[in-house]
Amino acid sequence: MAETASKKTADNRPRLLLMDGHSLAYRAFFALPAENFTTATGQPTNAVYGFASMLANTLRDESPTHFAVAFDVSRKTWRSQDFPEYKANRSKSPDEFKGQVELIGELLDTMNAERFAVDGFEADDIIATLATQAETAGFDVLIVTGDRDSFQLVSEHTTVLYPTKGVSELTRFTPEKVQEKYGLTPQQYPDFAALRGDPSDNLPGIPGVGEKTATKWISQFGSFAELVERADEVKGKVGQALRDHLESVKLNRHLTELVRDVELPKPVMDLERKPYDRTALKGFLEVLEIRNPSLRERLLAVDPGAEEDEAPAPAAGVELDGTVLSTGGLAPWLAEHGSQPLGVATVDTWALGTGTVTEIALAAAGGAAAWFDTTQLNEADEQAFAAWIADAGRPKIMHNAKAAMRVFPEHGWSVDGVTMDTALAAYLVKPGRRSFALDALSVEYLGRELAPAAADGQLAFGTDEDEQAEADALMSQARAVLDLGEAFSGRLPEVGAAELLHDVELPTSALLARMERNGIAADRPHLEAMEQQFAGAVQQAVKEAHASVGHEFNLGSPKQLQEVLFGELNLPKTKKTKTGYTTDADALAWLASQTEHELPVLMLRHREQAKLRVTVEGLIKTIAPDERIHTSFSQIVAATGRLSSTDPNLQNVPVRTDEGRAIRRGFVVGEGFESLMTADYSQIELRVMAHLSEDEGLLEAFASGEDLHTTVASQVFGVERSAVDAEMRRKIKAMSYGLAYGLSAFGLSQQLNIDPAEARGLMDTYFERFGGVRDYLQRVVVEARATGYTETMLGRRRYLPDLNSDNRQRREAAERMALNAPIQGTAADIVKVAMLNVDRALREAKLSSRLLLQVHDEIVLEISPGERKKVEELVRKEMASAVSLRAPLDVSVGVGTDWESAAH
């Protein structure tokens, strides 16, 4: 057993650590903001995180030999039976707290820690019982709790560690500390507490008697019992108050005394710390998306079995026969092993449209594995590897294959035959998770912890041992990729996603790699001029804001802005937060509508121009030496299946504002090409909704060929189409798209700036006319609640366990996801299929035009000279036939010399 986990006291006494689970969980909950500790499915984890952090630190600092945690069962205890008002004043636990105590119990189970909860008793009683047993058995006892009643347990061999700042600082209460703090011995503390009363427990005190008087009486009379016996000796008004409330304080004394003989299932000697189930612990942290490396390391460092499990195993029951290949060794290794599926792991870099691969590891099912330095290959190795990596008949299993497909061409290698991408597979199995990192998946699905390989693409070798360790780590990763591929091959059919991976996601990954390599040409002078324009607008807004209030202040400081808005100008108060009154965009817009003062409007303009400036600055920084911007697309960020982009994020470029359109003019046709072409679907989400709901009215509206929103508005409001005004059309457009996004009546009211009752009435009227939509939306939630998931037309599932949650907020959030996932997900699938069809058709027609971008539902192509007409015909045909809908897909196409002029 590790020294740090089993250290005894100087006189060789065993050491028992006891923790009050509920008390500490509640403190952790309020110490850490729930919004910063929430999983993708909406499960708050702040109490779990805070408790785990305190636990790790305490185990490290105190080195107990024995350990247990006590929990309350409910508020129904012997105390509430004797005094029904006991704790009756306590408010209901926040919804975000519920369920986290059970999760803390699961955490303790992975650590093989004992936990106790006994009907009719509080955690304090369990702790008192264990502490009493332990002292009798010769233990030193440490009690971590936020309940001061535990001070009565303090003795020469029992110390209370009391949280004094959140969950990060503990004060040690020894007999001397109790005496210093209260002027009393620990044995006298319950006497003192009875006289003082305890508002948190709803125990009444004596009017006019505070802590000083209570201490004085106990010191004077020696004990509560003696004070009661001689109550007549206490003079003055406080003496009379004592006598008037004698029965209530006697009850207080009864309730404050901790029970020391609770019947427990295990004696204290059975609480010796045991080695963790490290696989279960890591899996638990991953499921809750608790990935702070410091916390994980601290928890693992105090594992009593840490010495037995310090080195990460390359496999559970798997041994690698790894070889560091020297020059000339790759070709024969591939000749022997290359016909079977191989796991592939690489160390590579990619930035500004170029990159390099420095290391590659390959692993086979039989245990054979190889590592090589790409700079050490001879001609035979190069030819053998190029032929193998490009051979569609040689199966490759990769993690994030797009990265390899993007960078391998820099070495003259093309990639084909990828039959499994473990990142994409994990995404399809559980799209709501936040991380698809290989090490996390290895722990969760293989029970295998991986050692890290070089993260920066640099060979950090100083000795042969360094090289071997690096090679071993990368070969272990390659083997994990191979084994994960096998695991996901079984999981994907279970979730109906095998075809989606092979027919859609893997081909999309290969296409995106080529699009990222292509990039899109940028007009640097235009973008730099835009950046200067926005910088000037920001400074002008600052000057005008200062002038509007008569002095300078920091527009970026919420505190100073609050002082100006609500202190100096005395504007109407907005929503109250922990740091004052909110000054977010919605609050400023509301203030602008409620007052004639110009500052809220100026603040909105300042923030808008500053955001635009940051957007353009980001674009300029990502212009590569080839004068093109090479964004990176991701398939595994949005749970609905939509693509996202980073470095830069092109979805941040506004579409419907003059400034946004001006920025888009900075994306231009590149040298050797004739124009840019944009193509997207008209109202794809609504067409999908009409198809899935089979609502006859909505399908007829599409079939009419007239403006959809005007047609629908005429039916909802019961007027002729000619009588539909702009406001009617605006409301119906918001309604229709809102339904596709799971918008509630309250959300609609916020969006339209109307009363919630009016929004509900509008929604009801809409559903009266389009009952098929109403029935479909209701059916989606009911079916998802029964199955646990929603599904798109192509079989993409979104698992929503919170549909059955007791937490109303989480349940309603899951219901909104259930409403929009099939519609948004189907639209995303259609766009991917369309991209693949267009790309395939371009190559089959041997055209030089190529895809560059996919942003939202829009595809951007670069058109070679003389190919415009052919490409437009091809794009319209392939996009319109991507899938068959009852409301047929409608494709809009535009052409121009820049992204904006190519709009349609």
Q: Per-residue pLDDT averaged across 575-584, rounded? A: 80
| 293-301 vs 278-287: helix crossing angle, rounded to 10 | 160
What is the pLDDT, as a whole number, of residue 796? Answer: 93
Question: Which residues, including other chains, have CB under 8 Å from residue 178's CB and lie 6 or more apart?
Answer: 151, 154, 184, 185, 186, 189
193: its two tokens: 């507490």
Per-residue confidence band for 751, with pLDDT thresholds at 50, 70 and 90: confident
Per-residue confidence band for 852, with pLDDT thresholds at 50, 70 and 90: very high
**% residues pLDDT > 90 (the chain):** 54
Angstrom CA distances, 625 to 219, 518, 603, 673, 901, stand at 82, 13, 37, 18, 25
Please tell me the distance from the alpha carbon of residue 685 to that of residue 773, in angstroms, as a whole number.
13
Buried b (16+ CB within 10 A) or exposed e, 638-668: ebbbbbbbebbbbebbbeeeebebbbbbbbb
Q: Per-residue pLDDT averaged across 125-145, rounded? A: 94
**% residues pLDDT > 70 (the chain):** 92
Please tell me the distance from the alpha carbon of residue 337 to that of residue 483, in angstroms, as a whole number.
16
- Three-class SS string for 443-467? HHHHCCCCCCCCCCCCCCCCCHHHH
**pLDDT at 452 > cutoff 80:** no
Q: Per-residue pLDDT averaged across 600-625, rounded? A: 94
**Length of the chain (residues):** 904
Backbone angles phi, psi at 43, to 5 degrees: -80, 115
Q: Per-residue pLDDT averaged across 84-95, rounded? A: 66
Question: Which residues, including other chains, have CB under 8 Å from residue 773's CB and lie 6 or more apart?
Answer: 689, 693, 695, 698, 739, 766, 767
According to DSSP, the β-strands at 396-398 and 342-351 are parallel
Of residues 5 and 266, more confidently modeled: 266
Q: What is the residue type of 508?
A: T
- Torsional sign, CA 421, 422, 425, 426: negative
Q: If you average pLDDT over every residue of the chain, what do you get?
A: 87
**pLDDT at 579 > cutoff 80:** no
One DSSP character per residue, 770-831 reads -HHHHHHHHHHHHHHHHHSEEE-TT--EEE-GGGG-S-HHHHHHHHHHHHHHHHHHHHHHHH
What is the pLDDT, as a whole number, of residue 456? Answer: 45
- pLDDT one-digit tens code per residue, 679-714: 999 999 999 999 999 999 999 989 988 888 999 899
DSSP conformation class of 155 = B
To which H or E segment does residue 709 belong?
A: helix 708-717
What is the pLDDT, as a whole number, of residue 453? Answer: 57
Predicted TM-score (pTM) of the model is 0.71
Tell me if 856 sits within 8 A of 651, measured CB to CB.
yes
**pLDDT at 207 > cutoff 80:** no
What is the pLDDT, as a whole number, of residue 347? Answer: 94
Q: Out of 243-252, 333-342, 412-421, 774-783, pick the least confident.
A: 243-252
**pLDDT at 380 > cutoff 90:** yes
What domains does the chain contain, in order, with CATH numbers? 3-179+258-271 (3.40.50.1010), 321-519 (3.30.420.10), 521-629 (1.20.1060.10), 685-825 (1.10.150.20)
- pLDDT one-digit tens code per residue, 663-682: 999 999 999 999 999 999 99
Q: Out of 108-117, 227-236, 295-304, 593-602, pick the least confident.
A: 227-236
Angstrom CA distances, 420 to 359, 482, 498, 852, stand at 21, 9, 10, 25
- Torsional sign, CA 607, 611, 616, 620: positive
Per-residue confidence band for 4, with pLDDT thresholds at 50, 70 and 90: very low
Of residues 313 and 876, more confidently modeled: 876
User: Phi-psi bin for 550: left (phi > 0), alpha (psi -120 to 50), beta?
Assistant: left
Please tell me the distance from the alpha carbon of residue 28 to that of residue 336, in angstroms, as a whole number.
57
Per-residue confidence band for 311, with pLDDT thresholds at 50, 70 and 90: very low
**pLDDT at 467 > cutoff 80:** no
What is the pLDDT, as a whole number, of residue 306? Answer: 67
- Of 431, 370, 371, 422, the residue nearest 396 (C-alpha): 422
What is the pLDDT, as a whole number, of residue 199? Answer: 65
**Tokens 């944009």 identify what position?**
678
What is the pLDDT, as a whole number, of residue 182? Answer: 85
Question: What burial class does residue 136 get, using C-beta atoms within 10 Å of its C-beta: 0-12 exposed, 13-18 middle, 19+ buried?
Answer: exposed
**pLDDT at 461 > cutoff 70:** no
Report the helix count and the strand count for the chain, using DSSP H and E. Answer: 36, 25
- pLDDT one-digit tens code per residue, 151-198: 989 999 999 999 876 556 788 999 999 888 888 888 888 777 777 776
Cis peptide before 648 (omega within 30 of 0): yes
- Three-class SS string for 672-700? CCCEEEEEEECCHHHHHHHHHHCCHHHHH
What is the pLDDT, as a whole number, of residue 6? Answer: 42
Please tell me the distance from the alpha carbon of residue 23 to that of residue 301, in angstroms, as a whole number.
25
CB atoms within 10 A of CB 244: 11
What is the pLDDT, as a whole number, of residue 459? Answer: 44
- pLDDT one-digit tens code per residue, 536-569: 999 999 999 999 999 999 998 888 999 999 999 9
Of residues 104 and 164, more confidently modeled: 104
Of residues 812 and 302, more confidently modeled: 302
**pLDDT at 17 > cutoff 50:** yes
- Strand arrangement of the beta sheet that strand 66-70 belongs to: 114-116, 66-70, 15-20, 140-144, 158-165, 169-173
Backbone angles phi, psi at 301, to 5 degrees: -65, -25
Per-residue confidence band for 65, with pLDDT thresholds at 50, 70 and 90: very high
- pLDDT one-digit tens code per residue, 346-361: 999 999 999 999 999 9
Of residues 462 and 884, more confidently modeled: 884
**pLDDT at 201 > cutoff 90:** no
